[in-house]
């Protein structure tokens, strides 16, 4: 079963599914957007030549909520401008990111 491309993420399509609130997204077909995603994943994996294939996915935990919308049928979709982020949405990470953002805005 496919696993999220981020090395530190253990989300797999067989383990965490819709009932867990996790969605999975394939790399964009648009070459420019695909290149942006590939660059982000490559940096996180520390792999200079990472190349996504047809089975490559990124889980919804690597996108901000504002980057997604829900269709009438309840499917999560990404906005065309969405790009993945390295940190996975966990309560601990969200608190750290929130604190860092507050510090950046103060300075």
All residue ranges of the chain with pLDDT < 70 are: 1, 15-19, 88-107
pLDDT, position 88: 61
pTM: 0.74
Instruction: Write the pLDDT tens digit of every residue in 67-80.
Output: 999 999 988 999 99
pLDDT, position 94: 47
pLDDT, position 100: 47
Beta-carbon-side half-sphere exposure of residue 97 (alpha carbons within 13 Å): 11
For residue 24, give the 3-state DSSP assignment: strand
pLDDT, position 83: 94
User: Is the sign of the CA dihedral 40, 42, 45, 48 positive or negative?
Assistant: negative
């Amino acid at each position: 079963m496919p696993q999220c491309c981020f090395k530190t993420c253990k989300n797999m399509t067989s383990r965490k599914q819709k009932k867990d609130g996790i969605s999975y997204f394939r790399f964009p077909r648009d070459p420019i957007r695909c290149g942006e995603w590939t660059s982000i994943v490559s940096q996180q994996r520390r792999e200079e030549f990472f190349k996504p294939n047809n089975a490559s996915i990124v889980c919804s935990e690597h996108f901000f909520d504002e980057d997604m919308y829900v269709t009438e049928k309840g499917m999560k979709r990404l906005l065309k401008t969405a790009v993945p982020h390295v940190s996975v949405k966990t309560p601990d990470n969200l608190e750290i990111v929130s604190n860092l953002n507050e510090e950046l805005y103060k300075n």
